[in-house]
Amino acid sequence: MALSHSMPRFGFLLIGLMTCTVVAIENNYKARGPLLVVGSINVDTTVHLDELPRRSETKIAQRPSPTLAVGGKGANQAVAAALLSAGTGRAAARFVCRLGDDAYLGWLQGELARAGLDTSASVVVPGMSTGAGIVWLDAEGAATSVVLGGANTQGWSLLPPDDASSAGEKAEEETAAREAALLAEHAAAVVAGGSGNASASSTGDTSAAALRASVLLLQREVPEHVNAAFAAAAAAAGIPVLLDAGGENKPVFAALLSHVDFLAPNEQELQRLTGLPTATEEQVAAAAGALMAAGARGVLVTLEGRGSLLLLGDVEAEAEAGKAAKGTGGISGGRRCRPVRAIRQPALPVPGGVVLDATAAGDAFRAALAVALVEGQGLEDGQGGKEGTGWEQALRFAAAAGAIAVSRMGAMPSLPTRAEVEQLLVEHGASPAAQAWDAPELLAAAARAAAAGSSGTEAAGASAAAAAGSCSLGGGGVGVQEGTCSNPASAAEAGTATTTIPVAATPESAAIGSCAASSSAATPQHHQPQLYQHDGADEAADGACPLLFGARLNSMKSRRDKLLANYANYLPAARSSEDGAAAGSQSAASGDAGQDGSAAAAARRERLLEQLKDNGPLGWVARQGLVRAADGWSGGQQQQQPAGGAGGGAWGGAGGLDVVYFNYPEHLKGLTLQQVQEALSLAGLAAGGVAMRFPADPFRAGAFTNPDPAVRAAAVALAVEGCGWAAQLAATAVAAGNLSASAAAAATPAPGHLVVWSAYDGYDYHLQADYGAAWSAAVEAYRQLADACAAMHVAVSIEPKPTDPSSRFSFLPNTASALSLVSAVGRPNLGLTLDTGHLLMAGECLAQSVAEVAAAGRLFGLHLNDGHGRLGAEDGLVFGSVHGAAALELMYYLRYKLPPRPAGAFSRGDGAAGVFGLPHAIFDTFPLNEDPVLEAEANVRAARGMWARAGRLRRAGLEGCLAAHDGLCGMRLMAELP
């Protein structure tokens, strides 16, 4: 296994802020030399124990011999690159490392040779051991590790032995200068294609020119000055440099950063480097933009299952020699770039659907991206790399390599071959869920942070860093290290703060310094939120909640007496609305044309009223069209005067309901598509999707988990029929032409949507069910359903529920279990619909569960409701009526904290314009005693009111409360704000 670095799982977030020397790099791609990897190599020794030893205890190992493996980030990435380059006809990847002259030397050289690597520039250091990782692994998988640097850290000196031995007698400056000159000469020779070492073995008759590097890949498990020397040589030759930030917790050496084109931290490393939050994609983009302002030419971040993001940029300014750039903590030689394009790439499905070991996933991803760069993807398009499709290809290639790596155990054993990556791309690369898209909202976040960091002063930067939980180091650098102080009272909005970036002027300045908090910067016992400056755009958004609402169609069965009693009032209201529409038509036309319009409006009104009399699904659709959401509680008087005019006379939308979800087969059996379309058109609503409802016969013992394979097959077949309806409704949703603006927006996006809740997939007693068999059956059934629905361009979402009278225990009792099933199924069009009542039943936090699913790109739908939980089941009460704080927090997260595409490639919105929205919000309530129209209005008003209140909380400083983890602070704001 690889040691001393934390790895992501299977998704990756990539922020690449394009190199400022883009023309030189673009020209270099024509050379097509090999990838050059400079880094560490370890002998990983694993000792298997029944349990880890306690202090002073001697243990007998479970196995007579340890397990040996080649490790180290450098070796992992070099081998990954060799496997991914094999069969392409290009020169073998070159690996430069330091090996010890020990018993493992022959074995290590043989392993590297078998991988197909050119190690001609690697050096065997006499009298020194190879780097080593020693792991104690107990029977439960817990491990304790020790890393020995060996030749990785001590073997890079090029001074002659006699010179080195007498170095203490010479001036320290002279020795350092001579050492640096020798290393620079060695690095330049290696980058140019030579061995850089007279004693190194030859690779044959291959010319040095043919071995000139195309891309340099570095990691931080070797000394920083070594990386700096190779990066400087590559930059001088116009060769792009990618630096993996893993392996070292200190700030990046400024001399190294000034030559790096892509700095590649994972999420934790990005937090340490910047001191900024990274919970959302916008925050990650802002942190990357801050690094760019401090001198990083590009930033590549891996964030487990949150996908990939690439930002491309242009040079903005270059600091004068010896003059520090603003916001860089006094570091000289810094340059700034500005982002100009953002590309979002989703993660690819994991083969087999199960993540087994993510140890080498990041190494595989970065190596694959470097290989793609060597092959000309990215900057080859002739336009500086900003407009072409090469980066999308490179990202998909890297995502495929990472997805394969997490599906297998071990580090090097998990690295994929070229053929495996290409096969995964054949299977999933053309899927809509695998396609990249531009992300202007992330570009904006990075640009704001870069601009703020570029224009800010050092003091302003320190203040923003303190707001993120860090503070300045003494000396020539700024950094975030363990034990630093924090000042949450001065927290600022992520993505807009000016920050001082952790860049060390020298290795020494990175290691020293302390934080001394002044009285004004000390963390208060109770956080006092800081009022933000007026934000007109955010304030305007209070009244523009973008959620598209629907309501449980069966709720419209209730209180028919309320509906029938008001027919006399509905008639004049409908007539007034239609007459107004007709008058508008008459003013635009003349004579018979106007009369025809008036007659059509009258006929439409009569059809609406006739439809309301039907106590069936189509009549319930018409009743949902009555729902309005004016300010204040409706009361009987407002219900007597329903406002028309939505979409030229339709009753729905315009602040009320927007979409309808039909149960299948319950609502749609026996109806034609034309009948459903007409009912929706008359009500001014759009079809949101289809919800599966499996009948008790024959599914009482389970639908997708039924022990009878024939019944499971019947359940899948029935659900596929539901997909067919969802596809037809999605394809024809906008055909009516008279929808309200909000309903038309709801109707625009494909694909269709099928929500699956199976009340019978569970059990009542212990010792009743085979959980493993049920899980396997569910995985296979959902896989079959997802594949069939994908062919119809329909997204499928599972609605988990912990308990129901039909099955006291569900096989999917909570969000984590359901998300795990989605991962096991491994289909991009399978996600979750989260029901707030079900989340409360499961004891979950509404906002946390929604945020986790959205971060995975699987939030396909929302059901909003509330309840007391006194019945042992869901109550289906008005949203926020019982758990008001939880509901408000959910709306805050929906407005500010979710990624821009919470459903991944299936997010609702305008893909061409790069504008994406939240999933449909359906009020899944049970108004048994209330007028369901008024109850739906109350739900809409509650949700819209909480959306607006979330904005007021944000502007009053709630982000500071969250940054400080201060619950009393948040409660105080809620009490003080209307």
Are 275 and 463 in contact by the 8 Å Cβ rule? The answer is: no
Are 74 and 117 in contact by the 8 Å Cβ rule? The answer is: no
| 405 among annotated binding-site residues | yes
| 72 among annotated binding-site residues | yes
φ/ψ of 585, rounded to 5, equals -65, -40
Per-residue CA distances from 216 to 90, 244, 366, 628 (Å): 16, 11, 12, 62
The β-bridge relationship of strands 42-48 and 67-71 is antiparallel
Question: Which of 507, 39, 23, 471 shows the shortest CA–CA distance to 257?
Answer: 507
Residue with tokens 């008003």: 941
Question: Which of 502, 454, 447 shows the shortest CA–CA distance to 289?
Answer: 447
| 357 among annotated binding-site residues | yes
Task: Give CA–CA dist 248/507, Å, rounded.
Answer: 12
How many residues in the chain?
Answer: 978
Task: Give CA–CA dist 848/865, Å, rounded.
Answer: 17
Task: Give CA–CA dist 692/714, Å, rounded.
Answer: 13
Are 916 and 907 in contact by the 8 Å Cβ rule? The answer is: yes
Residues 6 or more apart whose Cβ sits within 8 Å of residue 789: 720, 723, 726, 727, 752, 754, 795, 796, 829
Burial of residue 592 (CB within 10 Å: 0-12, 13-18, 19+) is exposed
DSSP 522-572: SPPSS--PPPPPP-HHHHHGGG---PPEEE-GGGGGS-HHHHHHTHHHHHH
Instruction: Give catalytic status of residue 931 as yes or no.
Output: no
Residues 6 or more apart whose Cβ sits within 8 Å of residue 427: none
Question: Which of 7, 121, 93, 71 shows the shortest CA–CA distance to 367?
Answer: 93
| 780 among annotated binding-site residues | no
Amino acid sitting at position 950: A
Per-residue CA distances from 498 to 334, 694, 821 (Å): 16, 55, 42
Per-residue CA distances from 644 to 257, 513, 650, 660 (Å): 63, 68, 6, 19
Residues 6 or more apart whose Cβ sits within 8 Å of residue 157: 164, 179
| 3-state secondary structure at position 127 | coil
Are 8 and 302 in contact by the 8 Å Cβ rule? The answer is: yes
| 3-state secondary structure at position 338 | strand
Are 599 and 625 in contact by the 8 Å Cβ rule? The answer is: no
Question: Which of 292, 236, 284, 283 shows the shortest CA–CA distance to 263?
Answer: 292
| 408 among annotated binding-site residues | yes
In the DSSP assignment, the letter for residue 812 is S
| 960 among annotated binding-site residues | no
φ/ψ of 30, rounded to 5, equals -65, -25
Q: Beta-carbon neighbour count of residue 593 at 10 Å? A: 12
Task: Give CA–CA dist 848/279, Å, rounded.
Answer: 12
* DSSP E strands, 26-91: 35-38, 42-48, 67-71
Distance from the Cα of residue 647 to its chain's centroid: 37
DSSP alpha helix (H) spans, 792-841: 815-825, 836-841
* DSSP E strands, 769-816: 794-798, 809-810
Per-residue CA distances from 39 to 75, 119, 220, 375, 528 (Å): 7, 12, 8, 22, 48
| 221 among annotated binding-site residues | yes
Amino acid sitting at position 864: L
The active-site residue out of 363, 542, 835, 931 is 363
Active site residues: 363
Q: Which residues are annotated as a binding site for K(+)?
A: 357, 359, 405, 408, 410, 414
Q: Which residues are annotated as a binding site for ATP?
A: 266, 362-363
Q: Which residues are annotated as a binding site for substrate?
A: 42-44, 72-76, 221, 363
Q: Which residues are annotated as a binding site?
A: 42-44, 72-76, 221, 266, 357, 359, 362-363, 405, 408, 410, 414
